[in-house]
Amino acid sequence: MDGDDAILIERFDLGGDGLRVAIKDTIDIAGHATRGGSGALADAPAATEHAEVVARVLDAGCRIVGRANMHELAYGVTGINAHTGTALNPRFPDRIPGGSSSGSAAAVAAGYADFTLGSDTGGSIRIPACCCGVVGFKPSFGRVSRKGAAPAVTSLDCVGPFADDVVTVIRAMEIIDPTFVAETLDHAPVLGSLAVEASGEVADAVAGALATSGVALTDRAVPGFVDAFDAGIKIIAAETWAAFGALTASPAMGADVRARLLAASKVTAEELAAAEAVRSRVSAAVDAALAGVDALVLPTMPDVPPTLEEATDARAAISITALVRIFNLTGHPAVSLPIRTARGLPAGIQLVGRKGDDARLLAVAAALEAGLAHRDASASGRSD
């Protein structure tokens, strides 16, 4: 691969000689403009100081290798961007890279970085992780500093890491979150399985992976799960309009994002109040579902990622976030682990933990990842 793949929109060499890191174009790097993948911000001035997470990355001796591409203004789920180009999905080139943190996921898949930083407001880490076949982690809301990240005001967005394995995600969390202390699990994970709407192909892939991975499963339910999707859409719309609505006057803004922003401007105070009521109710339901289990488990996406050709209708593509958006609304930590379907297409297993218990969730993810690796080795006739 080379610089024509639109994965990194700016390349540079900053920092020490440690882990290689790429940073999403919503997170400030001193001396470089933060443009959110948008032509409407083409003249944005260079940031005068590093975002807090970037400073932590550099303090840890990491080497920042570039600025990662994204869906414009983080307001889209496909990663298709007419202004900066669409990041190649390195492992599944005919499929979307996912959004909005498309370049962050693709940079890991391409081997350009050991870990990357993205952000997740409605699935924007977990969706591209699933599409590109890597691990993506959305921390508990408020866990990781957003100082120096856009939008400045949000009740949904979280900065989090991508990597090729859970161990590296844990290392990234140790770097960007000084309160994070890694844990290990002393038993086989007990997971609460959520029954959700998913294609047969994805449902079979997830069920098959879990059945042979050494985890214990018990059924769980979250009343209001479907309502949470619509509530999250309303809140992200209002908050994104407040942050970026003024940019719709720019002719350089992409047509898909402008249309979504103009629609977002119509969200009413009554709709927001109703959405907040759903947030409170469903958050309590997720807490209740987590009682007695190590984590909840469900697919990351309801179907395999669409092809680039199929994803031309950005608004219709929102449905691919049907299973992730709820956990932005409630603030619970969530991680996506890559698996493949019987056709060899990307799918994801999503694990959800208790608020603030990010280290325990990643310990569960590491145990599941090890079980999946053992299953794959056995299936191929290898022994470790």
Q: How does pLDDT run across 118-168, given as a tens digit for each residue? A: 999 999 999 999 999 999 999 999 999 999 999 999 999 999 999 999 999
The domains of the chain, with CATH numbers, are 3-379 (3.90.1300.10)
Of the residues 119, 124, 140, 283, which is catalytic?
124
Residue 212: exposure state from Cβ atoms within 10 A (0-12, 13-18, ≥19) = middle
Give the position of tokens 């180009």.
Answer: 85
Q: Is residue 24 annotated as part of the catalytic site, yes or no?
A: yes
Of the residues 38, 100, 102, 119, which is catalytic?
100
| Confidence at residue 313, expressed as pLDDT on a 0 to 100 scale | 78
Q: DSSP strand E in 88-194: where?
A: 115-120, 135-138, 158-163, 190-194
Residue 374 has pLDDT above 80, yes or no: no
pLDDT per residue as tens digits for the range 32-64: 999 999 999 999 999 999 999 999 999 999 999
Reduced to 3 states, what is the DSSP secondary structure of residue 257? helix
| Confidence at residue 312, expressed as pLDDT on a 0 to 100 scale | 84
Preceding amide of 139 cis, omega within 30? no
Of the residues 24, 119, 140, 213, which is catalytic?
24
| Beta sheet of 334-340, edge-to-edge order | 8-15, 63-68, 20-24, 115-120, 158-163, 135-138, 334-340, 346-352, 295-299, 190-194, 216-220
- What is the secondary structure of 102-113 as a DSSP string? HHHHHHHHHTS-
Residue 288 has pLDDT above 90, yes or no: yes
Q: Is residue 100 annotated as part of the catalytic site, yes or no?
A: yes
